[in-house]
DNA sequence: CTGAAAGCGCTTACAG
DNA sequence: CTGAAAGCGCTTACAG
């Protein structure tokens, strides 16, 4: 298919080594020879065979990113952040979508290891012991962004301060007079949802607020779960006046359930959320939400991967915490008089 | 890092060839030997080195997909379709985001060629002569999905019948009494926007409708372009009563401009669109739009790549056309009395 | 400065 | 059925 060093070497009557040397530009080569080789290289549009190179032990200069859901704006933005950071340093990136399924995570990681990536950036659930072992064995840097599975061993990570963010969000509700607050807390095996729930609880405690245990609804992250949870909460005798959803899809689901039951947000009930991003700017009301600095995540994740790689001694795992942003939006308001509606 | 055939061969006192044979399972190996090797393979969790394999000329069993904008739901869904189809056949997929920029397309294609992918699936603009040449030289199958650049030579493609879809959408407007229809036609170097504009024009002709030339607004695909175009149209003395946007972002942009100017959709003006997908189901009103069968695109694209690869003679390029879906939505209504607003 | 040689991990005719 | 050998395309000590 493509021309090899050999072709060019033969054509010029020099050795493969010499051609290789000018390609790599490190070793010294006679000025004149270099000129001739360079010309031939260009004439053939020579591209080194990456397979061969990597086989010889060179870096593939590629990062792999795993995301749980490529069609969730949170993750697609995140990917863009990683891409940009990687590109700035001359690296490529391979994206793998996992649906948060451990089987697909495992397969995705195998793919990336097989492609000998320089680092793995993980923004997906479903990372289990088995996968961890594989990554460790290969000695490939891995950094978690956004969320880290609780059971994972020592790895670098980039995230926001989820506890603090949730505290702020909860305080916002409390300041608006709410004390009957429920939380759609998501799965309790991920740093994000765990931290967010903890922050929620801290804020309640700090304000001496007690809520019924079942107002803390643990479960999945998705839209369905959000709908179901909201539905259940609404069917109780005593209803919350505000709900916090720890993911964007939980928030969407909750919003639907609320609307279907005839509740106005925030007139009848307030809804605070995490990670809602609206590219169309057409969703109304605008969600009150905490946003993560996803573009910056990319930069830091790449940096951490690279550093880990260069370090010879014990891997310098680092938990990097970046500032979040609280978007006030329009879905949080003062407590309704006495929710009269249906 | 990882165990190699050699390690296992030495451990068992057999030759590398034998181990390789049982790994590949094609050649015949003595039953007993096979058992022992298999056990060792499993014990070490042996993974063949893909670099070495591919270097020896085997398929990488990987597809590459290029999309113009990974955070546009149209494309992220499309990626999911490809992933699923690929996985079903035991292939992996590498995703590359291009922003429709020729430089990034070129770089992305180089990456994929370097990784020796089994096929390239292209759902992005920015595919130029130079890139085409490279792909051709490598003899790697490439199929366009969604859109094809007009200047591209002979390649397979998967798409909807854009002309027909646009005709239907336009007819829907005409049936609603509209004859003053403008179109945000997008860039005129892509099969989608070209076909959609043509369909629009055919429908007008068929109904003896004439519109001012500047109501056909050519340009970019993005939100900004949509806003700008709508803005201009609204500032004229004679205003259209309906607008067709040939992309989702053009439609979003147009919707914003309309709202900002105080127009109600569809009460004051109708808006028909392409490729609007709303994951949150929270955008209101629900857009009237034509949708592509993106999941099916994946299946077909993979099939076409594979077929092209297996074919020995002239590449059997194939233009595959799949049925679209017209979603009636709520953004198209009867012509307003005489748009009294502002 | 330059070439011959070894070797990365694998596959696959070629001989036994 | 099995092993020794060649070779995919490259890089890199090792000698000159």
B169 closest CA partner among B332, B320, B284: B332
Do A209 and A198 reside in the same domain of the chain? Answer: yes
Residue B341 is assigned to a structural domain of this protein: no
| A233 and A146 in a common domain | no
Between CA B325 and CA B200 the distance in angstroms is: 17
Q: Tell me what percent of the residues of chain B surpass a pLDDT of 90.
A: 65
Give A1's pLDDT tier (boundaries 50, 70, 90): low
Is the model's pLDDT at B285 over the cut of 50? yes
- Report the pLDDT value the prediction gives residue B314, as an integer from 0 to 100: 59
Q: Which residues in chain A are closer than 8 Å to B139, comparing Cβ atoms? A: 1
Residue A341 maps to a domain = no
* Chain segment B208-255, per-residue pLDDT in tens: 999 999 999 999 999 999 999 999 999 888 899 999 999 999 999 999
One domain, residues A184 and A273? yes
Residue A175 lies in a domain: yes
**B1: confidence class by pLDDT, cuts 50, 70, 90:** low
- Measured in degrees and rounded to the nearest 5, phi and psi for residue A97 equal -100, 135
Same-domain check for residues A264 and A191: yes
Domain count, chain A: 3
Distance between CA atoms of residues A215 and A207, nearest Å: 17
Domain that holds residue B29: 5-48
How large is the average pLDDT for residues A35-64?
89
Instruction: Provide the percentage of residues in chain A whose pLDDT is more than 90.
Output: 65
If asked whether residues A174 and A143 sit together in one domain, one would say: no
Side-chain-facing half-sphere of A282: CA atoms under 13 Å: 27
User: Which CATH number fits the domain that encloses residue A11?
Assistant: 1.10.260.40
Residues B32 and B78 in one domain: no
- Whether A233 is in a domain gets the answer yes
B47 has a chain A CB within 8 A of its CB? yes
Same domain, A74 and A150: yes
- Chain A residues whose CB is inside 8 A of the B1 CB are 137-139
To which H or E segment does residue A227 belong?
Answer: helix A223-234
**Are residues B202 and B228 part of one domain?**
yes
Residue A334: inside a domain: no
Q: Is the pLDDT of residue A308 over 60?
A: yes
A266 with A178, same domain: the answer is yes
Say yes or no: A249 and A177 in one domain.
Answer: yes
Give me the residue from B45, B72, B252 closest to A282, CB to CB.
B252
Q: Do B70 and A52 count as a contact with CB atoms less than 8 A apart?
A: no
Secondary structure (3-state) at B317: coil
Percent of chain B with pLDDT strictly greater than 70: 96
What does the alpha-carbon distance between residue A73 and residue B332 come to, in Å, rounded to a whole number?
28
Please indicate, yes or no, if residue B331 is contained in any of the structural domains.
no
Q: Which two tokens stand for residue B170?
A: 């336009």
Cβ-contact A82, A65 below 8 angstroms: yes
User: Based on the domain organization, do A166 and A286 belong to the same domain?
Assistant: yes
The CA dihedral of A308, A78, A89, A46, to the nearest 10 degrees, is 110
Please indicate whether, in this complex, the C-beta atoms of B80 and A71 are within 8 angstroms of each other. Answer: yes
B25 touches strand D (CB under 7 A): no
Would you place residue B312 in the very low, low, confident or very high pLDDT band (cuts 50, 70, 90)? low
What tens digit of pLDDT does each residue of A74-118 get? 999 999 999 999 988 888 888 889 988 999 999 889 888 888 899
HSE at residue A199, side-chain half, CA atoms within 13 A, is: 25
Query: Per the domain annotation, does B57 fall within a domain?
Result: no
CA distance A113 to B92: 13
Q: Are residues A175 and A134 in the same domain?
A: no
Q: What is the CATH number of the domain that holds A235?
A: 3.40.50.2300
Q: Does residue B336 fall inside a structural domain?
A: no
């Amino acid at each position: 298919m493509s021309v090899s060093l050999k072709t060019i070497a033969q054509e010029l009557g020099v050795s493969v080594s010499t051609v290789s040397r000018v390609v790599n530009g490190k070793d010294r080569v006679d000025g004149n020879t270099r000129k001739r080789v360079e010309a031939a290289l260009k004439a053939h549009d020579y591209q080194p065979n990456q397979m061969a190179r990597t086989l010889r032990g060179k870096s593939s200069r590629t990062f792999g990113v795993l995301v749980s859901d490529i069609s969730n704006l949170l993750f697609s933005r995140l990917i863009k952040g990683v891409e940009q950071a990687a590109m700035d340093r001359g690296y490529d990136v391979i994206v793998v979508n996992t649906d948060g399924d451990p089987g697909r995570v495992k397969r995705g990681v195998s793919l990336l290891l097989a492609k000998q990536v320089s680092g793995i950036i993980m923004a997906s659930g479903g990372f289990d012991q088995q996968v961890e072992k594989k990554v460790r064995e290969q000695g490939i840097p891995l950094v978690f962004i956004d969320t880290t599975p609780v059971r994972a061993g020592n790895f670098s990570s980039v995230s926001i301060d989820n506890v603090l963010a949730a505290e702020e969000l909860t305080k916002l509700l409390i300041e608006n007079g709410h004390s009957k607050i429920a939380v759609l807390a998501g799965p309790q095996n991920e740093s994000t949802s765990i931290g967010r729930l903890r922050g929620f609880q801290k804020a309640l405690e700090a304000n001496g607020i007690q809520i019924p245990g079942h107002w803390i609804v643990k479960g999945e992250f998705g839209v369905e779960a959000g709908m179901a949870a909201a539905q259940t909460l609404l069917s109780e005798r005593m209803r919350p006046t505000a709900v916090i959803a720890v993911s964007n899809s939980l928030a969407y689901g909750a919003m639907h359930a609320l609307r279907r039951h005839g509740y106005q947000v925030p007139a009848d009930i307030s809804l605070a959320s995490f990670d809602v991003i609206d590219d169309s700017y057409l969703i109304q009301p605008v969600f009150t939400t905490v946003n993560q600095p996803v573009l910056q995540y990319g930069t830091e994740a790449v940096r951490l991967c690279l550093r880990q790689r260069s370090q010879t001694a014990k891997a310098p795992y680092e938990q990097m915490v970046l500032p979040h942003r609280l978007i006030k939006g329009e879905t949080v308001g003062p407590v309704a008089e006495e929710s009269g509606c249906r």
